[in-house]
Amino acid sequence: MSLTGMVAALIADDRTADWPARVPARLETVLASMPLPARAGVRAAARGLDAYAVARTGRKLAALTDAERESVLRGLGARPALQPLLDVLKVPVLLAAGTERMLQDGLPVPLLTRQDPPLDCTPVHAWPARSTADAVVIGSGAGGAMAARTLARAGLDVVVLEEGQHHSTESFGRRAPLDRFTDLYRDGGATVAVGRPPLLLPVGRAVGGTTVVNSGTCYRTPDHVLARWSKEFGFAPAEDFGRRLDEVERTLRVATQPLDVLGGNGRIALAGASALGWGAAPLRRNAPGCKGSCQCVVGCPTGAKQSVQLSVLPDACAAGARIVTGARVERVLVDADRPGGPRAAGVRVRREGGAVEILAPLVVVAAGALESPPLLRRSGLGRHPRLGHNLSVHPATSVAGRFAEPVTAWEGVLQSVGVEEHHGEGVLIEATATPPGMGSFVLPGLGRELRRELEGADRLATLGAMIADRPSGRVLGRDRTLLRYDVDDRDAGRLLRAVRAMGELLFAAGAEEVLTGIPGTPRVRGLAELDTLLAGTSVRQLHLSAYHPTGTVAAGTDAERFPADPTGRLRGVHGVLVADASVLPGCPEVNPQLSIMAAALAITQGQVER
Amino acid sequence: MSTAGTAGKGKCTGDDGNTPARGTLFTETMLGTLRLDDEDRTRQVRLDLRVSADRVMRLTGTTQARATGRVRIADWADDAGAEGELEISPLARRRIRYRIAFTADGRRLTLDGWKSVTPRRPVASMTVLPFTLYEDGAQVGTGTLRFPVATQLLPFLASFRFPRRENPDALLAPRWRGEPGRTEVWYTTVTDPATGGGLWLHHELVAPADGSEPYAHGWAAVFPKDGPVRHARFGPTRWTADQAGFSMDGVAVRPGHLSGSAEDDALRWELTERPLGEPLFTFPRWSWRRPLLPAAQMLPAANASYDGTFTHDDTTLTLTGAPGASARIYGHGNARRWSWLHADLGGGDVLEIVAAVSMRPGLRRLPPLVFLRLRHGGRTWPRRAERPAVGWAGAGRFRAAIDLPTWTVTGRAGLRRIRVEVTQPEERILALDYTDPDGAHAICRNSERADAHVLLERWWFGGWRTEAEWTLDGTAHAEVGTR
């Protein structure tokens, strides 16, 4: 069914420009990468819009004039109950529209910072049906890459299994951001945690895992978090974490982002913080030589960002590790009759024309906090009652400020400045701009109003805030992940405080108005107005997304509470290590890449030194 | 020799929990293809394996097995000396893994693969074997073998055997548990291929029927090729239990080792024994485990080789790989009349015969019961030890004509018949007096340099054809006992 009518109505295609006409086709490709419920939802919404138009005018949206479409949309927009639904519908449309509008201006040709170091990648269809290794690492993200490097350097024959594909930096440069977006994210980026409110939780799927698509922000695990992990949970790696973090930082070449390519978004955040006297600084990032392409979330096109497939995995391959791409692990093979209890024997990978099996006495599970619990359940290793529980996700929301002068937020570093004034209260503000349409911020309005916002997007600066949450989520499912997350009451308050703090910061930086993202009152022109608005706002009215899922196969001393022992070995079976975000026992409260890598390093080193 | 008996509760190999009582043997043939990494074509592969495990294969557990066989790869390899191992675990680990090493074109290769069993596709997953070929640990090719169900399932199933696995050492342990009226014997006979002479070492425990002290005694004898038979007795002395075998004043029978002296060191021996064959139960196996017959005889190893020295009257025989055998008897005493033959037929083949008339009232009127076991080509014939003695309710029994200097045994079982003629020339005989636990005496005439002629025939479409024929000239070990 055609999406043309819906798109033309939402972005007010008045045929004054070429690009809106190409948006429906682009939207089709976006939908194709999304899971079935999301696809069906968008198509149902398009049908609903058409039905409404037929009811009001006797014709479908595509057959209406511009003015008639506006009138139809005004009728819809007047119903507050429909606002959240329309906002959800706008997300994929804005994604497609933003891309087409950017392509209109021409795709900048990125300059390679450096050549990609070589990787030993084999597609799964070229891998033998039967093979053996000393260790199999499931997942090539932050945890898996570090585990693979540590084990390979210890002399083990390591095979890394990655469900996604390998994408080179050059391939990023050749393709439009949105094309990469649909390839690099699981479910086309439309992973949703069911709850009140629902959360969008994008996770990467490629060689390098989510590190390919994260913002490159590298926070060391805060001391108070480490102290809690160590004392409260007995998480053994936390005791010598500083040394591991140092090693990870050296590997990733972490440094404070220089100001030269920081971009308007970051400068506004610094100016606002300075005016308020808040502590703020350019973030420490793993992107030496960053050119400010602002495309971190769809794979750095210059190779500056040291995602693990450019930094850790090449070291692992140099030490003999091999990567199998397109390999979704069906199950961990377990020998149930071994003396001393069940023992992992290898893995089975689904493949057309017969499964691939790799036998190895050591299996490192690093499929990420959302995929590791279902994998363990599929393998018959999911009997621990707390497996899949304890999910922390860093719920986040964003706010935009409109400035008199162009900000052009997409020229500069994507995530540039951290404002830690409220970090003690669990709120971390990060100035985050994205390629048009890809951010979590949803522009307000429908039809012409939305089109005006799109055309004036260069004057917006966006801030995001993530909060340290209580582990109130669960990962369900065996074959497919099903997420359940309800924002805790305490965290709801934190989110509203975060919106206020971001508004305050933007006004202090000189914003004319702040786009709140709250459907009923999308714009406020002063702090007092914002306070009034927030006093009557529930967290369910915010557009929430979430990042950094952790803790679903947590490690700790209490055998009843933690599915993994303090050193990261899965309880109830020999030979299974958990070395990804799922093993962290609690919310890391900062962007967790360094924490995950340091934990994976500690866990696998502990295994090697046994 | 001696025969008669009923006796104590001995422990047979296999009951002790350490050595599984039975193993598993089967053969399997698989066909398939192989693609070498540096070629763009596939080659036909055929794998014929003979698989043996030390235990009965358990479908619910994991069985480790050895495999030998032949690997054929079209235009490349034909190695009949392939060997490797199997991990058979269709349910516990859902995996049947094959690791077979073979030589192709001078390259040493290893085939490593496994069937991955799943209940969703039971037949396909139990018959398809994807594998990877390695050379020095590096992959050189991949392929798939399939078990052809249509043509190979019946041969495969029919090939299953569960042979007993015995620990020959455990069979040396004394059976006697303190009952009066028992006799137990450890005896060894050897032929020295260098001189053509024969040796006989006889160690005996007697527990008199009147309940008096049990005593140990025995003798050693040498049968030189040129010269008279020389023998000497040792003991009797008080019996002291030895869990490993037999021991008394300087004479010992231990697993793999025989030593002792007799007649003030006039005869001295120091021999090591290396079992070459599986145990051979001349009498039905149950009669050794549960001594219901008057006596039973068996060989812990059907044949063995001996190294060491045997000195008699300043002449020393040095044995190197000398063929022979050790045997065991446990029972109530000697038979009324008996004959015995141990013939090493070469190539691992052995013929063991005991023909005896019991002392029991009633039984003594019967003709000799013949227990004949021919181990030929790895198989023992007749398959059941009862067959020659009482087959077809006695009508099809084997017949023995016990006499001297020549005695014969003839018989037919299944499609085979045998005729054995043993000659013990007077000058090669040693006659000794045996004493039963009840004090009765018997005379035995023994020769470790007897002659024997064995004719084995097989029936084939209307006629008997000679299957094998052996003539032993002075290397058979035989004995005839009378009262």
B142–A354 CB contact, under 8 Å: no
What is the per-residue pLDDT across B395-412, written as a single tens digit (0 to 9) for each?
Answer: 999 999 999 999 999 999
Give the H/E segment covering residue B370.
Answer: strand B369-376
Chain B residues closer than 8 Å to A126 by CB: none
Mean pLDDT of B353-365: 91
Burial B130-157 (b: 16+ CB within 10 A, else e): bbbbbeeeeebbbbbbbbeeeebeeebe
Q: What is the per-residue pLDDT for A112?
A: 81
d(CA A555, CA A561): 9
Q: Is-contact B221 B230, C-beta < 8 A?
A: yes
Structure tokens at B128: 């398809």
The nearest alpha carbon in chain B to A336 belongs to: B92
Instruction: Report the gap between the CA of A129 and the closest CA in chain B (Å).
Output: 6
Identify from B114, B121, B134 which residue to disrupt to test chain A contact, counting A C-beta atoms within 10 A and taking the largest count.
B114
DSSP H or E run through B353: strand B349-357
CB within 8 Å of chain B, chain A residues 546-565? none
CB atoms within 10 A of CB A233: 20
Interchain CB distance below 8 Å, A129 and B95: no
Catalytic residues of A: 548
Residues pairing with B267 in the sheet: B262, B312
Amino acid identity, position A530: L
Q: Which residue of A has its CA nearest to B115?
A: A130
Residues (pLDDT < 70) of chain A are: 1, 437, 440
The residue in chain B having the minimum alpha-carbon distance to the alpha carbon of residue A129 is: B130
Subunit contact B112:A132, Cβ cutoff 8 A: yes
Q: What angle do CA A210, A212, A217 make, to 5 degrees?
A: 80
Q: A399 CB contacts (<8 Å, ≥6 apart)?
A: A441, A462, A463, A465, A499, A502, A503, A506, A514, A515, A516, A517
Does residue A197 have a cis peptide bond before it, meaning omega lies within 30 degrees of 0?
Answer: yes
Q: Model confidence over B422-445: pLDDT tens digits? A: 999 999 999 999 999 999 999 999
Per-residue model confidence (pLDDT) at position B18: 56
Best B37, B93, B98 member to test A by mutation, with max A CBs in 10 Å, is: B93
Q: Check if B95 contacts A (Cβ < 8 Å).
A: yes
Q: In angstroms, rounded to a whole number, what is the distance separating the alpha carbons of residues B129 and B106?
A: 25
Hey, CA dihedral for B309, B311, B317, B323, is it positive or negative? Answer: negative
Grouping H, G, I as helix, E, B as strand and the rest as coil, residue B210 is: coil
- Return the pLDDT at A586: 93
B279-304: average pLDDT: 92
Q: Output the pLDDT for position A159.
A: 97
Interface check B62 vs A, CB under 8 A? yes
pLDDT at residue B19 in the model: 63
Tokens 């990978």 -> residue: A349
Measured distance CA(B70)–CA(B92) in Å, rounded: 29
Residues A456-499 pLDDT 10s: 888 999 999 999 999 999 999 999 899 999 999 999 999 999 99
- Provide the pLDDT for residue A372: 96
> Which of the residues A130, A156, A322 would you substitute to probe the B interface, choosing the one with the greatest number of B C-beta atoms within 10 Å?
A130
Chain A residue with the nearest C-alpha to that of B121? A354
Could you give the CA distance from residue B311 to residue B47 in angstroms, rounded to a whole number?
53
- CA atoms of A15 and A376, how far apart (whole Å): 53
Q: pLDDT by residue (tens digit) across A371-393? A: 999 999 999 999 999 999 999 99
For residue B61, the chain A residues in CB contact (below 8 A) are: 337
Per the DSSP assignment, residues forming a β-bridge with B280 are: B299
- pLDDT tens for B193-242 read 999 999 999 999 999 999 999 999 999 999 999 889 999 999 899 999 88
pLDDT of B5 strictly over 70? no
Query: Which of B430, B280, B427, B260 has the alpha carbon at shortest distance from B345?
Result: B280
- How far is A529 from A524, CA to CA, in rounded Å? 6
Nearest Cα neighbor of A579 from A237, A124, A349, A201 is A237
Cα Rg of chain B (Å, integer): 26
Contact call for residues B418 and B411 (beta carbons, < 8 A): yes
Separation in Å, CA of A561 to nearest CA in chain B: 29
CA distance B391 to B412: 10
The alpha carbon of A584 is separated from its chain's Cα centroid by a whole number of angstroms, namely: 17
Q: Strand locations in A179-278, DSSP E?
A: 192-194, 199-200, 255-256
The pLDDT of residue A396:
93
Q: Do A130 and B131 touch (CB under 8 A)?
A: yes
Put simply, whether A131 touches B (Cβ < 8 Å) is: yes
* DSSP 8-class letter at A232: I
CB contact under 8 A, B93 and A337: yes
Contact B61 A345 (CB under 8 A): no
* Beta bridge partner(s), residue B325: B189
Q: Which residues of B touch A349 (CB under 8 A)?
A: none
Strands laid side by side in the A329-335 sheet: A130-132, A356-359, A343-349, A329-335
DSSP assignment letter at A124? G
Question: With left for phi above 0 and alpha for psi between -120 and 50, is residue A453 left, alpha or beta?
Answer: alpha
Is A128 close to B95, i.e. CB distance below 8 A? Answer: no
Between CA A209 and CA A184 the distance in angstroms is: 9
Percent of chain B as helix, strand, coil, to the nearest 5: 10, 55, 35
- A131, A132, A336: residue with CB nearest B92: A336
User: What's the confidence (pLDDT) of residue B267?
Assistant: 93
- Rounded to 5 degrees, φ, ψ at B111 are -95, 125
**In angstroms, rounded to a whole number, what is the distance separating the alpha carbons of residues B272 and A315?**
60
Taking an 8 Å cut-off on Cβ atoms, the answer to whether A355 and B116 are in contact is yes
CB contact set of A228 (below 8 Å; sequence gap of 6+):
A586
Closest chain B residue to A347, measured at CA? B116
Contact A355 B61 (CB under 8 A): no
Per-chain mean pLDDT for chain B: 91
Q: Does A151 touch chain B (CB under 8 A)?
A: no
8 Å CB contact between B51 and B86: yes
A128–B142 CB contact, under 8 Å = yes
Give the pLDDT of residue A328: 95
Rounded to 10 deg, the angle between the A308-318 and A142-153 helix axes is 20
Note whether B183 and B206 are within 8 A (CB). yes
Question: In this structure, what token pair is assigned to residue B48?
Answer: 């014929």
For chain B, the residue count is 483
Within 132-191 of B, beta carbons closer than 8 Å to A belong to 132, 139, 142, 144
Instruction: Tell me which amino acid residue A219 is.
Output: Y
Q: Is B114 on the interface with A (CB under 8 A)?
A: yes
- CB–CB contact B92 A335 (8 Å): yes
Q: Are strands A121-123 and A322-325 parallel, antiparallel or unpaired?
A: parallel
Minimum distance, in Å, between the CA of residue B450 and any CA atom of chain A? 55
A333: chain B residues, CB-CB within 8 Å: 93-95
Contact A130 B114 (CB under 8 A): yes
Q: What local confidence, expressed as pLDDT, does residue B96 receive?
A: 96
Tokens of B330: 């446990």
Q: Which residue of B has its CA nearest to A348?
A: B116
- The encoded tokens of residue B58 equal 């358990």
A339 in reach of chain B (CB within 8 A): no
Q: CB of B318 within 8 Å of any CB in chain A?
A: no
Question: In this complex, how many residue pairs, one in chain A and one in chain B, have their CB atoms less than 8 Å apart?
Answer: 41
Give the integer Cα–Cα distance in Å for A65 and A357: 60
Chain A residue nearest residue B97, CA to CA:
A130
Interchain CB distance below 8 Å, A357 and B142: no
CB contact under 8 A, A130 and B112: yes
CB contact under 8 A, B142 and A337: no
Whether this model's ipTM surpasses 0.85 comes out as yes
Contacts of B118 in chain A (CB under 8 A): none
| Pick among B35, B87, B142 to test the A interface (most A CBs inside 10 A) | B142
Q: Please state the φ and ψ torsions of residue B389, each to the nearest 5 degrees.
A: -80, -50
**Chain A residues in contact with B95 (beta carbon < 8 A):** 333, 345
End-to-end CA distance of chain B: 13
Of all residues in chain B, the one with the smallest CA distance to A355 is: B116
Nearest Cα of chain B lies from the Cα of A334 at a distance, in angstroms, of 7
Q: How far apart, in whole angstroms, are the C-alpha atoms of residue B339 and residue B479? A: 5
The predicted pLDDT at position B14 comes to 41
Does B62 sit within 8 Å of A357, measured CB to CB?
A: no
Collapsing DSSP to helix, strand or coil, A4 comes out as: helix
- What is the identity of the amino acid at A496? L
User: Do B142 and A129 lie within an 8 Å CB cutoff?
Assistant: yes
The closest CB to that of B130, out of A129, A333, A348, belongs to A129
- Please answer whether residues A100 and A22 qualify as being in contact, where contact means their C-beta atoms are separated by less than 8 angstroms: yes
Distance from CA of A143 to the nearest CA of B (A): 28
Secondary structure of A340-404 in the HEC alphabet?
A: CCCEEEEEEECCCCCCEEEECCEEEECCCCCCHHHHHHHCCCCCCCCCCCCEECCEEEEEEEECC
Instruction: Record the pTM.
Output: 0.82
Q: Looking at chain A, which residue has its C-alpha nearest residue B142?
A: A128
B126 residue type, one letter: M
Would you call A128 an interface residue with chain B, using a CB distance cutoff of 8 Å? yes
- Count Cβ atoms below 10 Å from residue B177 Cβ, excluding itself: 12
| The one-letter amino acid at B237 | T
